[in-house]
Amino acid sequence: MQILLWPIHGGYTDAFVRGEHEYLLPVPSVLPGEDDGVSGWEWERARPVALEALRSEAIDIVVLQRPEEIALVESLTGRVPGRDLPAVYLEHNTPGPGAFTTRHPLADRRDIPIVHVTHFNRLFWDNGTAPTTVVEHGVPDPGPLYSGELARIGVVVNEPVRRWRATGTDLLPAFTPEAPLDVFGIDAGRLRDTFEDPAIVGIESLAPGRLHAELARRRVYLHPFRWTSLGLSLIEAMHLGMPVVALATTEAVRAVAAGTGVVSTDVDDLRRAARAFLEEPEWAAEVGARAREHALAHYGLPAFLERWDEVLLEAIAARPGSGMVYANANSGGNATTTIAAHAR
């Protein structure tokens, strides 16, 4: 297949384009030296395509990620997503402040199924009668890099100051009595002026490979997010073999299985768990090994790509005029399709 996808989420795109298809990544320009949205990544089967060249491409399906892409694709290709061009809508985010009352932008549309990245997201978004499915996250395996040699707490948060309560940035000082925190991510350096606490260190601009290596040197991983889809950083930390402590919010309670870390809505519980991992390195390594085993089984790249193949092929087969419908026999008229591969 030739799949059209805007590379707006680098980490997710990195996993998605590792399948067996050809991936077309639209960019404003592909001139050397310009910021094209794909620089810094090395993808064997993906290629950037200038916007003005999209009309000549033989696109089989488009994976939409923003509502405005529907009109954009039509203007650039001359084909209407969901009518002339098979399409799915990949929803990365949790709903807005209205949480379970927030209507999805594609709610009630029958021509473009919505693909949620977590079961929590599908549950909380008001999708109306739109067909929905879940393709859980998958990440390339960075390898069992965990050493835990540094008795410090690792955190990965992009834009921690701007996103603040959503990412649990305000909770970070609660953990400094246990150990210093190293916070990796975009604009993490702003934490220096925000807290004026030398125990909270912001570290920016690390390439993925370097980030994984540095994170794995920390004894324990903290995931303080209140309101977000399941962060890829949590799954990556588990792949590394790190023991994790996480707020029991959104999809984290499903991702962190018993024996692979500690999840709680009580910050004091998480502090005690972090302290225990810090004080008992052998136990931390044991829990981290189980976390890695769980992550490989449930968030590994092969299963992720296989699930996506099923969704894409189904969407192409169900294009208008095929006589197929998205709803399964047990949907009760709610037009919800689930794929067996994601069941545990």
Q: Which two tokens stand for residue 135?
A: 């393709």
Q: Output the average pLDDT for the chain.
A: 89
The pTM score is 0.84
Identify whether the C-beta of residue 121 lies closer than 8 Å to the C-beta of residue 230. Answer: no
For the segment 186-234, what is each residue's pLDDT rounded down to a tens digit? 999 999 999 989 999 999 989 889 999 999 999 999 999 999 888 899 9
CA geometry: angle 222, 223, 229, nearest 5 deg: 165
For the segment 276-329, what is each residue's pLDDT rounded down to a tens digit? 999 999 999 999 999 999 999 999 999 999 999 999 999 999 875 544 333 332
For the segment 247-264, what is each residue's pLDDT rounded down to a tens digit? 999 999 999 999 999 999
Superfamily of domain 150-299: Glycogen Phosphorylase B; (3.40.50.2000)
Cα separation, 120 vs 168, whole angstroms: 19
Cα separation, 293 vs 238, whole angstroms: 8
Amino acid at residue number 260: T
Tell me the CA distances in angstroms from 94 to 97, 100, 189, 250, one per residue in order: 9, 10, 26, 8
Q: Which among 63, 62, 47 is positioned nearest to 12, based on CA atoms?
A: 63
Q: Which two tokens stand for residue 8?
A: 């707006």
DSSP state of 102: P
At residue 44 the predicted structure's pLDDT band, cuts being 50, 70 and 90, is: confident
Alpha helices in 47-101 (DSSP H): 69-77
Cα separation, 16 vs 137, whole angstroms: 10
Tell me the CA distances in angstroms from 96 to 21, 115, 164, 166, 191, one per residue in order: 33, 17, 15, 11, 25
